[in-house]
Structure 1
Amino acid sequence: MPMSQPDASASSEDRVTPDALLHTRTGTDVSPEDLVLAAGKDITPRSLEWARRKLETEGEAAMEKLLP
């Protein structure tokens, strides 16, 4: 069974995500739950406490450090 391969004739611009779509800022506050999920962790009391401390020290930039 042949494996599908990307279309080599497509230009690189067709495959590149525009920079404006790569930013995580949504204009809303970042919650501890958002930060935990962005870090790929399960939401637990321990991970929520980690996220609260990180948001206290780094502010919303904490999210940008995880998902630039």
Structure 2
Amino acid sequence: MSTSEPEASWSSEDRATPDSLLHSAPGSGVVPEDLVLASGRDVTPATLEWARKKLEREGPNCIERLLP
């Protein structure tokens, strides 16, 4: 016996966010601070340097691998 409600009875707040809204649109200018925050790290000189190097090597799309 299932205890879940039929999808039709869900409120709009219960539905999953469409995938197209979950992406950061890296073409819009990812900066090192964005990458540090997306990785869950504190913004420090060392993490900003890590992010700068990562952006140089992998480009702005690298943030997509850190976000859900």
- Assess same fold via TM > 0.5: yes
| Distance in 1 (alpha carbons) for counterparts of 2:32 and 2:61 | 13
Identity %: 57
Question: After TM superposition, which residue ranges in structure 1, 4 or more long, deviate above 3 angstroms?
Answer: none
- Structure 1 spans left out of the alignment, 5+ residues: 1-7
Greater percentage in helix: 2
The size of the alignment, in residue pairs, is 62
CA RMSD of aligned residues (A): 2.5
Q: TM-score, normalised by structure 1?
A: 0.74
Query: What are structure 2's unaligned runs of at least 5 residues?
Result: none
2:67: which partner in 1?
67
Q: 1:27 to 1:59 in 2, by over 3 A?
A: closer
